[in-house]
Amino acid sequence: MNDFNSIVFWKNCNQEKKQNILLRPAISVSKKISKKVADIIETVKKYGDDALIKFNSKFDNFHEKNLRINPKKISYSKNFLNKSIKDALLVAMENIKKFHMAQKISPISIEIKPGIICEQFFRPIESVGIYIPNGSAPLFSTVLMLAIPAKIAGCKKILLCSPPPIGNEILYACEMCGIKDIFQIGGAHSIAALAFGTKSVYKVEKIFGPGNIWVTEAKKQVNYQFDGPAIDFFAGPSELLIIADSNARPDFIAADLLSQAEHGETSQVLLLTPSFSLASSVLKEIKKQIIFLPRSLIAKKALKNSLLIITSSLQECINISNQYGPEHLSIQTSCPRDLLKEVKNAGSVFLGKWSPESAGDYASGTNHVLPTYGQTATHSSIGLLDFQKRITVQELTKKGLHKLSSTIECLALAEKLEAHKNAITLRLS
């Protein structure tokens, strides 16, 4: 659709049209961009800090040679922020910390059978890299979302990269979280530095954080290399799907849709409702509210990717939502919890008219780094476990091994792995 004036009736669409309606905006990485990203990665691997300084100058018009932020600058950042923003960050930090602390999983130790004990425990990933976007919308809230679980998990080395110049809000959020290794580098070259290391930047084992097409492509390429790091997932563009009934507030819904549309031109927002009257009212509210948004031009372009869909029932809304698998799912109905049990695929769910998506973006406590583009079918929001690894243990007594020996020997022989069998037979002979 060319604008947000169209209302689609789901029952009037054939299967092909329904599939096309639920397609995300095409985010294609051209061969040209892939090649440039590959060249950037190889240049950083070869020339290290010199390459990073060169790319900072080329891409961000930033000419300082010191890549690492001076600790004094981090400490001084609080002097440039007013009390209200510092207080707000503190509240957000406390809520996010409380929710992620609750995600700790106790070790498991179970005697499977007499003489056979199996255990499971968790250890932190030793070193992690955090990428924080810093363009038209510097996402200092993402510092909290990534640094807090990394700290709780016990990661010993936490590096943060963000395009220069890094604002005081980001620096202060880092100080609150105890992040000291902050590097003023962005884009694909920062991902390369985190992935393979330079004289200044420590090589990490896993990279987290959203970014533009260059950052995402770099994360993909370093992850595919044999000696490259793990990554969280490919995040973006932002998505919001709202399910609403005739009792929902049109002004609330319009505000929520616009809150995601302003993220970027390729964002996508959807409203699913059985009420034509509600959809019409939401459309009027969007046109009224968008006028006053500083990022209205961005939001208008995002709305070209977006839809108002009239369904036959709330159950059909849920079915469509599960097929789409939104990053954010808002359920604004009279009894939202009745629909929650039907949700299969979603990054984060917001129940009721008093739970705007903005709450999760900043301060309710849940994490706002979420899978997009249908990845919710297999991926979850960032949480404590993403910064940890699971280790299992088994301990057998002589009696326990003896009771299990015939089973192991039988299976080993069936797989034609004689040495496996011999490791049992030798002990019992």
Instruction: Give me the catalytic one of 100, 328, 368, 379.
Output: 328
Tokens of 269: 């927002």
Contact between 29 and 217 under an 8 Å Cβ cutoff? The reply is yes
Tokens of 253: 């819904």
328 in active site: yes
Is 402 labeled as ligand-binding? no
Is 63 labeled as ligand-binding? no
What beta strand segments (E) does 237-319 contain? Answer: 239-244, 268-273, 307-310
Instruction: Give me the catalytic one of 327, 357, 368, 379.
Output: 327
Helix, strand, coil share of the chain (percent; to 5): 50, 15, 35
Q: Which helix (H) or strand (E) holds 160?
A: strand 157-161
Residue-wise DSSP of 397-414: -HHHHHHHHHHHHHHHHH
Tokens of 266: 């390729």
Cα gap 54→411, rounded to integer Å: 59
Is 379 labeled as ligand-binding? no
DSSP reduced 3-state for 221: helix
Cα gap 421→413, rounded to integer Å: 7
Strands 108-113 and 230-231, bridge-based pairing: unpaired
Q: Which residue has the tokens 């600790």?
A: 71
16 in active site: no
What is the maximal distance between C-alpha atoms in the chain? 84
Residue type, 90: L
Is 361 labeled as ligand-binding? yes
Contact between 348 and 381 under an 8 Å Cβ cutoff? The reply is yes
Cα gap 370→108, rounded to integer Å: 28
Is 388 labeled as ligand-binding? no
Strands 388-396 and 116-124, bridge-based pairing: antiparallel
Q: Which residues are annotated as a binding site for Zn(2+)?
A: 260, 263, 361, 420
Catalytic residue IDs: 327-328
Q: Which residues are annotated as a binding site for substrate?
A: 238, 260, 263, 328, 361, 415, 420
Q: Which residues are annotated as a binding site?
A: 238, 260, 263, 328, 361, 415, 420
